[in-house]
Amino acid sequence: MSRSVITNARLIGEQSLADLYLKDGLIEGINLGGEVSHTFDAAGKLVTPAFIDLHTHLREPGQEVKEDLASGLAAAAAGGYGTVVSMANTDPVIDDPGLVTDLLAKAERLGLARLRPAAALSRGLKGTQLTDFAALQAAGAVMLTDDGIPVADAHLMRRACEYAAELGLLIQTHSEEPSLRQGGVMNEGAVSQRLGLPGNPAQAEAVMIYRDCELALMTGARVHIAHVSSRRGLQLIEWFKAQGAPVTAEVTPHHLTLTDEALGTFDPLYKVAPPLRTAEDVAYLRAALARAVVDCIGTDHAPHTRAEKDLDLLQAPFGIANLEVAFPLLYTKLVLDGVLTLAGLLHYFQSGPAKVMGWPAPSLAPGTPADLTVLDLESARPVTPSAFKSKAKFSPWDGWELQGWPVATFVRGKHVGG
Amino acid sequence: MNRHRHLLDFNGWTADELLALFETTDVMAQVLQRTIKKVPALQGFTVSTLFFESSTRTRLSFERAARAQSADVVSFAAGGSSLAKGESIKDTLRTIDAMQADLYVVRHAAAGVPYQLARWTDAAIVNAGDGRRAHPTQALLDAYTFHTSFPGCDGFAGKKLAIVGDILHSRVARSNLELWTRLGATVALCGPATLLPRELEQPRLSLHHRLEPALEGAHAVMALRLQQERMTSGLLPSLAEYRARYQVTEAVMALAHPDALVMHPGPMNRDVEIAGSLADSPRSVIERQVANGVPVRMAVLYTLLVGKK
């Protein structure tokens, strides 16, 4: 039996500081007193349920040069996350139940943030043959997705939805119509035309979001639209939700804080899929958060090596690593700037993603898992990529002065990071 | 006195600085008229041509411009080099940096590479064409050719340049737009809707899908090379239709200024984007454009390497 306490914890909605007791990996209760083996002094900082990220590229197996479970789950813990859903676009692709079992066993041994693996929707992400959904689910896969590669074949997506609906499995989509996206490396618009870079229009996203929402409505499958980046795309989701389609929407920290103007420096650091859009799109996404049209904030943490990001803009890979800055970035840019309340932002990191998955809402109630994060909402400090736990030690937000830093993360009652 | 370290595009260059480049070009053109076509202006400097995309004509023009001023030249071409073995542009640059180049002339298929290289080296960078984005020395030689060839030319204010063709994929169009508007001219860009960027917007620019309004009153008309692959990639129905709607001919030139010049950045598809007879007519300054390549590039190299002292 292990028992510990976080003293002087500020809790949302409470006037006075509290001592939060943790026992055997669960929350025991408040101000109970008695013997403990460990004490963590929160010193008046906010203690809140650990974050959940439904969209994390951990790159293991096969791409450990970019990230691995140890570095990625440590980065998650440092960012305040207690649970992450790992994407399946690894090498080999996570399309076999044995690979799911292996990932879970290794993450368990590491004892950092909890890992809930996604499995591929199609074998090898080739978009032609479905994976064994039921066997993957039995092995522990929590969603099906070919994320990184849009499912181009509408018929395959339809069958995936039908099959997944029967199993109650969530399908996450990377919705960008490949034939319209073509070789675009940034948002198509005035900026891409000025910079002479091949553009990827918001319509490529909207067209496939439309298809995926129609299929969700048709089949009853729960379809989660990953990384919605454009006003056009989000408006469609809002419309389909009003029709009763079982769709949910995710937005990312980068699409909420950066615009296509960033490509004016010609730094592939800003090359991401879907691309950074216009200031108008960013404003629309932010307003949609305030109107609760969006269901969760997912990071799409997508680490690459420095050498890969030093290639030219046509060749450099898509992706931004952001697990360790997601919360302070959005606390500073959304809460301190008055777009959202603190509780409103926390929702998108906690109960929002849990609801998308059909998991219990994270809380501090006795008997719930002791997955917690301690947030320093007062101190401002610059983003320092060299100190990241992630292997991707560079960032579009390098040097940005942010508040809201996670200072400690507990998973199963154990201090695992921050 | 030059305050620019690089020529990546014309961002930050004033009209006076650009006209000063033309004055230096006049001097360089005189040097090239002499019996001994060489001056020691850049003796002791090393100019390196870094061509990640092949272009023999532009590379030779820069190398001639460097050697005519007694600079040493280190030439790097991607074909058959370490680049084919997977070396990154950054590592390639470091290798050549070790040879102590003072200035790189860079061409690359991706927009922005000259900007990336400028972050990684202390040497000067001259952009010799990056993707669809910019080709500033081509624009300089085009504008210089106009400046020295248009009858009684008294500057660029009130002048109109029309550029016809595949604007979308053209770094020549983008750089000429940037340069001529900076010098005070207006620019009309003309092409089919699939090859004309919809959202290019700036003062002194007009966009046209039809030749007639674009050419009306123009003092210079530039036809751009049409790549054959535009038909197979769904951007154009056929060569015949393009020719019928967008070929620059003697007949449509009647709409332009009576003294209007005809230009082409080369290489030319005769009787596709431009009527062959027009290219050979007295209005055509296409050969003069080619000839002006060397003195313009001499002026750029000289200004960046010596002009800052």
Q: Do B171 and A313 touch (CB under 8 A)?
A: no
Q: Do A197 and B133 touch (CB under 8 A)?
A: yes
Which candidate, A304, A225, A231, places its Cα nearest to that of A271? Answer: A304
Q: Do B110 and A315 touch (CB under 8 A)?
A: yes
Q: Strands of chain B (E only): list them.
A: 46-51, 72-77, 103-108, 124-130, 160-164, 186-190, 205-208, 220-223, 261-263
pLDDT tens-digit readout, B70-97: 999 999 887 644 555 567 888 889 888 8
Region A307-313: what's the mean pLDDT?
A: 94
Query: Rounded to 5 degrees, what angle do the CA atoms A11, A368, A350 make?
Result: 60
pLDDT tens-digit readout, B181-199: 999 999 999 999 999 998 8
Q: Which of A189, A190, A313 sits opposite B112 (nearest CB)?
A: A313
- Is A103's pLDDT higher than 70? yes
Window A:146-205, CB contacts with B under 8 Å: 189-190, 193-198
- Is B309's pLDDT higher than 50? no
Question: Which pairing describes strands A372-382 and A46-49: parallel, antiparallel, or unpaired?
Answer: antiparallel
Judged by a CB distance cut-off of 8 A, whether residue B309 touches chain A is no
- Gyration radius of chain B's alpha carbons: 19
- Write down the pLDDT at residue A1: 64
Beta-ladder partners of A401: A382
Query: Contacts from A258-264 at CB under 8 Å and sequence distance 24+?
Result: A258/A282, A258/A396, A260/A186, A260/A187, A260/A189, A260/A191, A260/A192, A261/A191, A262/A396, A263/A186, A263/A191, A263/A192, A263/A195, A263/A197, A263/A313, A264/A191, A264/A195
Window B:70-99, CB contacts with A under 8 Å: 88-90
CA distance A187 to A109: 41
Region A132-143: what's the mean pLDDT?
A: 98
- Write down the pLDDT at residue B166: 95
Q: Which of A195, A267, A315 sits opposite B133 (nearest CB)?
A: A195
Cis amide linkage into residue A117, ω under 30° from 0? no
- Write down the pLDDT at residue B232: 77
The pTM assigned to this predicted structure is 0.94
- Write down the pLDDT at residue B1: 60
pLDDT tens-digit readout, A215-256: 999 999 999 999 999 999 999 999 999 999 999 999 999 999
Confidence of residue A353 (pLDDT cuts 50, 70, 90): very high
Region B126-148: what's the mean pLDDT?
A: 97
- Is B247's pLDDT higher than 90? yes
CA B256 to each of CA A270, B141, B259, B293: distance values in angstroms, whole numbers, following the listed order: 44, 22, 8, 26
- Write down the pLDDT at residue B79: 62
**A172 by DSSP, 3-state: which?**
strand
What percent of chain B clears pLDDT 70, i.e. is strictly above it?
96
Region A122-135: what's the mean pLDDT?
A: 98
Region A257-279: what's the mean pLDDT?
A: 98
Confidence of residue B229 (pLDDT cuts 50, 70, 90): confident
CA distance A326 to A79: 7
Element housing A191 (H / E): helix A190-195
Mean pLDDT of chain B, nearest integer:
93
Region A50-63: what's the mean pLDDT?
A: 98
Region B241-265: what's the mean pLDDT?
A: 97
- Write down the pLDDT at residue A82: 98
| Backbone phi, psi, residue A118, to 5° | -90, 155
Determine the residue type at B186.
Answer: T
Cis amide linkage into residue A362, ω under 30° from 0? no
Judged by a CB distance cut-off of 8 A, whether residue B133 touches chain A is yes
- Write down the pLDDT at residue B83: 52
Residues of A belonging to the active site: 300
CB pairs under 8 A between A and B: 56
Question: Which pairing describes strands B103-108 and B205-208: parallel, antiparallel, or unpaired?
Answer: unpaired
Region B18-40: what's the mean pLDDT?
A: 96
Confidence of residue A393 (pLDDT cuts 50, 70, 90): very high
